[in-house]
Amino acid sequence: MKVIAAADKNWGIGNKGKLLVSIPGDMKFFRSTTMGKTVVMGRKTLESLPGGRPLKDRDNIVLTRNAGYKCDGVKVVHSVDELKEALEETDTDDVFVIGGGAIYKELLPLCDEAYITRLDYSYEADTYFPDLDADPEWELADEGEEETYYDLIYNFCIYRRK
Ligand SMILES: NC(=O)c1ccc[n+]([C@@H]2O[C@H](COP(=O)([O-])OP(=O)(O)OC[C@H]3O[C@@H](n4cnc5c(N)ncnc54)[C@H](OP(=O)(O)O)[C@@H]3O)[C@@H](O)[C@H]2O)c1
């Protein structure tokens, strides 16, 4: 499995249920990278999407502990084991963990590649991605050119499990 996230200088990823910043170039990268694939997310992230609706043209899987949870166009699973069962027939290279904080933390051990958009700014945040620079199991494999959105500098990085 792979993971995709946008993280600031402190590995912050969200605040008060929202993204830290919405960058058109990053949205485009996210869309093209996940298009046609399976995306796995937590219930809170699903509900943070526009209209609380799943992402178009992708197989959406949502984790919740609520046994009665339903959402049109979404496959609902209730544990990591149930997620693994749901993915048995899917090529794991085509599965992207898309957040949020709780799900990144729980599923990172099952991932071998991380597409991280690094934002060169410290935002106010209450939700974090695990610090891959400090994790001896991970290495920075590729670091894209500097991109800008107004005065924000960011770049697309790929981390790989060693
Ligand atoms: N920067 C980025 O790339 C990025 C990407 C995505 C999200 N975000 C941000 O991250 C924040 C949301 O993250 P979050 O940590 O609050 O929530 P989350 O990870 O999206 O969802 C957490 C929920 O997932 C369910 N869950 C977690 N572990 C589970 C398990 N083992 N089995 C079954 N269900 C499980 C629970 O749902 P129930 O409560 O229903 O049981 C839990 O409350 C928002 O601010 C969002 O904007 C940022």
pLDDT tens digits, residue range 5-31?
Answer: 999 999 999 999 999 999 999 999 999
The alpha carbon of 146 and the centre of ligand 1 are apart by a number of angstroms equal to 29
pLDDT tens digits, residue range 58-86?
Answer: 999 999 999 999 999 999 999 999 999 99
β-sheet bridge partners, residue 115: 4, 158
CB contact at 8 A, 152 and 118: no
- For residue 137, the model assigns a pLDDT of 97
Q: What domain range is 44 assigned to? A: 2-161
- For residue 104, the model assigns a pLDDT of 98
Question: What DSSP state is assigned to residue 130?
Answer: -
Model pTM score? 0.98
The alpha carbon of 45 and the centre of ligand 1 are apart by a number of angstroms equal to 5
What's 6's domain CATH number?
Answer: 3.40.430.10
Query: In the chain, how many domains are there?
Result: 1
Q: Which amino acid is at 80?
A: V
Interval 28-52 mean pLDDT: 97
Whose structure tokens read 């799943």?
54
Distance between CA atoms of residues 136 and 101, nearest Å: 20
Percent of the chain with pLDDT over 90: 100
Question: Is ligand 1 within 6 A of the CB of residue 17?
Answer: yes
What is the average pLDDT value for the chain, to the nearest integer? 98
Q: For the CA atoms of the chain, what is the radius of gyration? A: 15
